[in-house]
Amino acid sequence: MELVENMLDGNDRSLARLITIVEREAPEVLQIMSRIYPHLGNAYFVGITGPPGGGKSTLVDRLTAVMRKKGFSVGIIGCDPSSPFSGGAVLGDRIRMQQHYLDKGVFIRSMATRDSRGGLPRTVRGVLKLMDAFGKDFVLVETVGVGQTELDIMDAVDTTVVVLVPEAGDAIQTMKAGLLEIADIFVVNKADREGADYLAVELEQMLRMKPKHDWWQVPVLTAQAINDIGIEELYREIEKHREALQEGGRLSHRRQEQRRREFIQVIEQGIRTRLLRLVERDGQLMKCLEKVEEGESDPYSASMEILTNKTLLQTWLAELEREG
Amino acid sequence: MAEARRIRMLIAKPGLDGHDRGARVLTLGLRDEGMEVIYTGLRQTPEKIVQAAIQEDVDVVGLSCLSGAHRYLFLEVVEQLKAKGVEDVLVIGGGIIPKEDIPFLKEKGISAIFGPGTPIKEIANYIKKTVKRK
């Protein structure tokens, strides 16, 4: 794991290579993660989400500038969708972040969602950890611009910022499950456009009707990211939210929850990968699969055949013993 | 299940070109060929291109230049990549490149030049066949 050592020493190419490995969900990921684990827990993760064209990339760009000015190092993960048809993707978040390309304190990585559903690649958590271990003070994650189903981001980061624009519809749109519930901070961007103040007031009223927590009143900010207006205020609110989280051990409780979910997820994934590999090599079980495909047997009875198959487990055990 | 190998490519426009129609057509076309294409827009310096290629850990860098400064700009990218120890990345070029410059560019480390009118399929096949990393 020379790559990991080099990354921990601050080598950016090694970080880039490791991200690729995590993105591919290669078998080495478990080893990498366990090796970097002692170095985790120092970075603060901020998610930026909202509908497409709302100015998320520009906001991330300007927020990064503010954080850099205060002396913090920043990691940026920009997510864009993969085509379900070709598997390809156009990754274009970087284009708005030109001013940081040559800054050693900023590392930008674009990620395609690949075969994950929703606005976030499922490997993003691993990439967040790599950036944390690399020593970033803040990591900003920009989701795909989807709008109503981006609940995953809330689980992956500490503070979730939802960016809306006046054109995105009235506040009723945000009442529908999703954005209203996940936001720790709202930003109405492009606030020089008509309807911005109205949307902000409406949002604020709605949030007061139903406060998210007794310890945090979700603020509604207005901003014009492209003109650098409202960015400093956004940074201050992120810091305030962080302090509120840290008070009374809320952050450590959250992290506990995340670790628990992560543990179960890793095990699930490991078992699934292993099991499918065993099934693939078992002629009889593959026949089972064919029958299901042909509609000759139903998936439920066929799955029972696999789940109660003792030879499968014996092969697994034998494999483990061989691996020592 | 482990992800299948996905080719990552950076498409960049060094120099002062006024438009990027060709680069955009290629970006979309290669997406449809199953690649992850990172597009960084107009007016990039070689330094910025190299930094982006490293952070994004791409397999291929595609450079497009219409202004005639390719002899300088393309080489600068290749050399800076080398200086950073990046030797396993395929560098290809396109745009308005006079035929007589092609041998020179190839000798300096640009693997292939694709001019106007090249079918995207041809470029995609070349990349898939020639990409250095596995």
| Closest chain A residue to B10, measured at CA | A91
Higher-confidence residue: B94 or A153? B94
Interface contact flag, A25 B85, Cβ < 8 Å: no
Nearest chain A alpha carbon to B25: A90
For residue A117, pLDDT over 90 is answered with no
Calculate the alpha carbon distances from A269 to A119, A264, B19 in Å.
Answer: 20, 9, 46
Determine the pLDDT at residue A174: 65
List of chain B residues whose C-beta atoms are within 8 Å of the C-beta of residue A95: 39-41
pLDDT at A177: 54
In a domain, B133, yes or no: no
Question: Which of A37, A117, A53, A129 lies closest to A81, judged by CA?
Answer: A117
B1 lies in some domain:
no
Q: How many domains does chain B have?
A: 1
What is the mean pLDDT of the segment spanning A218-223?
96
Looking at the domain assignment, is residue B26 inside a domain?
yes
The answer to whether B57 contacts A17, with C-beta atoms less than 8 Å apart, is: yes
Lay out the sheet containing A138-142: strands in order across: A106-112, A74-80, A138-142, A44-49, A159-164, A185-188, A220-222
- Given an 8 Å threshold on Cβ–Cβ distance, is A13 in contact with B33? no
Q: What is the mean pLDDT of residues A31-52?
A: 94
Residue B134 falls inside a structural domain: no
For residue B58, tell me if it sits in a domain.
yes
The structural domains of chain A, with segments of one domain joined by +, span 2-248, 257-323
The matching CATH number, chosen from 3.75.10.10, 3.40.50.300, 3.40.640.10, 3.50.50.60, for A2-248 is 3.40.50.300
Question: Is the complex ipTM more than 0.95?
Answer: no
Q: Which residues in chain A have their CB less than 8 angstroms from residue B8's CB?
A: 20
In the predicted structure, residue A215 carries a pLDDT above the cut 50 = yes
Name chain B contacts of A94, Cβ cutoff 8 Å. Answer: 38, 40, 52, 56
Nearest by CB to B36, from A27, A89, A115: name it.
A89
Chain B residues inside the 8 Å CB shell of A24: 2-3, 5-6
A92, B38: Cβ pair inside 8 Å? yes
Residue of B nearest to A89 (CA): B36
- Domain with residue B117: its CATH number is 3.40.50.280
**Is B109 part of a structural domain of the chain?**
yes
Instruction: Determine whether the interchain pair A95/B52 forms a contact, defined as Cβ–Cβ distance below 8 Å.
Output: no
Q: Letter for the amino acid at A171?
A: A
Q: Which domain holds residue B52?
A: 8-128
What are the tens digits of pLDDT across the range B85-132? 999 999 999 999 999 999 999 999 999 999 999 999 999 999 999 998
Locate all alpha helices (DSSP H) within chain A, ordered by sequence.
2-8, 12-23, 29-36, 56-69, 124-134, 152-156, 171-175, 179-182, 196-209, 231-246, 250-281, 283-294, 299-307, 310-323
* Chain segment A255-297, per-residue pLDDT in tens: 888 888 888 988 988 888 888 888 888 887 888 888 899 998 8
